[in-house]
Amino acid sequence: MQIFKEIAPLKAFLVEKRRLGQTVGFVPTMGALHEGHLSLIQASKKDNPVTVSSIFVNPAQFNNPADLEKYPRTPDTDIAMMEKVGCDALFFPDTGVMYETESTVRFDFGNLEQVMEGKFRPGHFSGVALVVSKLFHIVEPDYAYFGQKDWQQFAIIRQLVRELKFNVQLKSVPTLRESDGLAMSSRNMRLTPTQRKKAAVLHHALVHASGMLKNGSAIEEVKMHVQRTLESDHEIKLEYFEVANSENLKLLNRVEESVSPILCIAAFVGDVRLIDNMFLSR
Ligand code: AMP
């Protein structure tokens, strides 16, 4: 795997690949890799002769400075994991390469970011859109791969690509889970062993809520049930549980209002903020 710290040599590498008619798949990450990240790289490798990944902990998308500081960083094991799955190139820039000057560009995605993550993390998606735009301009991928775990992020990037006419096709990859159902996340490594056991409750709550909705329970009733389940443990604090239309993220009052509802949850386990979601199959 070739590692690029600067933009120009990466671009030269990609020009050569494209001259040979090879498509480029791109997997942006913030590092601290787990099997979920690797599944995105594997999906890209299936579709493309060339796969580029990136590691960049993007300051612009952290609304909480402590969260940015505590974000796990494990570059040596990340590189070894990427090499093992056969990633072709890694873009691993320093902050100064991505932000030569402090950025004044802001994005506003309207309704898409007024709920859930956008509501609780003001400015987060503007920062995501900024860094993804920069990365798309640098890599110019044919395909880009994102995890379903961050569904709202996927919906926002899809809107970004439509509006700014990026010439890239987006792919959403299913969430990889631990054996107890907990969605894999870089943040899981910050949980204590006890918290790690408790954290599976996010997934279990989604499964239970999905069953209740399929059996005809009202969304309001299900919300109260989820709140009670999570907060029966003093170390867990529910931030939101919502049922939304997965296409436009409008919050639903009744599941019948959408053909593809999605259940989304965010909660603190200790001081670690975790998210998860699940499509409601009907
Ligand atoms: P991150 O490093 O957290 O920014 O994530 C990089 C990419 O990996 C994003 O597209 C995430 O949605 C995706 N991702 C994170 N966790 C998982 C998971 N458990 N399964 C599949 N993809 C994931």
The answer to whether the CB of 85 is under 6 A from ligand 1 is no
The answer to whether the CB of 154 is under 6 A from ligand 1 is no
% of the chain residues with pLDDT over 70: 100
Both tokens of 178, joined, read 């631990």
Would you say the pTM of this structure is higher than 0.85? yes
pLDDT number for residue 134: 98
Residue 192 CB-half CA count within 13 A: 6
Residue in 35, 73, 146, 150 to alter for ligand 1 test, most ligand atoms within 8 A of Cβ: 150
Ligand 1 center–CA 27 separation, angstroms: 9
Tell which atom from ligand 1 comes closest to the C-alpha of 37: 8
pLDDT number for residue 204: 98
Integer Cα distance of 91 and 4 in angstroms:
5
Among 34, 37, 124, 203, the one annotated catalytic: 37
pLDDT number for residue 63: 87
**pLDDT classification of 281: cutoffs 50, 70, 90:** confident
pLDDT number for residue 10: 98
| Segment 210-224 mean pLDDT | 98
pLDDT tens figures, 228-247: 999 999 999 999 999 999 99
pLDDT number for residue 267: 98
| Segment 206-223 mean pLDDT | 98
Chain mean pLDDT for the chain: 97
pLDDT tens figures, 253-279: 999 999 999 999 999 999 999 999 999
Ligand 1 center–CA 19 separation, angstroms: 31
Q: Please state whether 279 falls in left (phi above 0), alpha (psi between -120 and 50) or beta.
A: beta
